[in-house]
Copies of this chain bind each other. A is one copy, B any other.
Amino acid sequence: MAKGITRERIVAAALDLLNDKGMDALTVRALASRLGVGAPALYWHVRNKQELLDEMSTFVMRRVTAALSEIAAGAGWRDGVAAYARVLRSEYLLHRDGARIFSGTRFSDPGVVKAKEPWLGRLTAAGFSLAEADDAIDLVTAFVVGFVIEEQERSQSAGADPGRYSLAERDAWLGEGADLVKAAGHLRDDGDRRFERQLGVVLDGLAARLR
């Protein structure tokens, strides 16, 4: 019953395995056994493990572009860019270590790269030059990637080593001085709010380019 392995089923199972067991446990052998086949069977459908990882990240990015094509048809540039940032973050957050694994990989699907087209159109229509529009998309993408990498690392090592991020232990670990660092740690609120505030700063910076 497990036969009839396809490229899509392999990618889907790989994403499941990643979420279940984490990056280190995402091995060709474990993936194959989850699909009910031997490890060499996968090499009929996929050139090597790197191609599998590329395919996984292409899958995630296709979901991002699909989610975006439904939104933001008539919205202003600011709301549109904000929606892009939120969708990218939430898709990364769906997968363990998503930002680290899926960022900075080459897409096997031209459609994912082409998805930039309407955004460039919207931004230039709003008054940005083409170069500014391209910079804007790259900047927002870079911000989301960096933000979520830190966010996921934090939540993961909090799970593995609870107390490492408790405020009291952190204060003790920091030792003498560093009062502002400690105070800032106590002010720190949840990821959603911090994301929205920092995204707002980026959008304000982009808005400043329109004058």
A-side interface residues toward B, CB under 8 Å?
100, 103-106, 110, 113-114, 116-117, 120-121, 124, 130-131, 133-136, 138-139, 141-147, 149-150, 152-153, 157, 164, 173-175, 177-181, 183-184, 187-188, 194, 197-198, 200-209
7 contacts between A and B (CB under 8 A): A105-B153, A133-B180, A134-B184, A142-B143, A142-B198, A201-B206, A205-B208
Once the chains bind, are A110 and B180 in contact (CB under 8 Å)?
A: no
Task: Give the number of times this chain occurs in the complex, counting copies.
Answer: 2
Contacts of A174 in B (CB 8 A): 110, 113-114
Q: Give every chain B residue within 8 A of A202 (Cβ-Cβ).
A: 139, 201-202, 205
- A24: min CB distance to chain B, Å: 10
Chain B positions within 8 Å of A152 at CB level: 104
Q: 5 tightest A-B contacts by CB? A: A205-B205, A142-B146, A145-B146, A104-B153, A146-B146
Q: How distant is the Cα of A177 from the Cα of B114 in the complex, in angstroms? A: 8
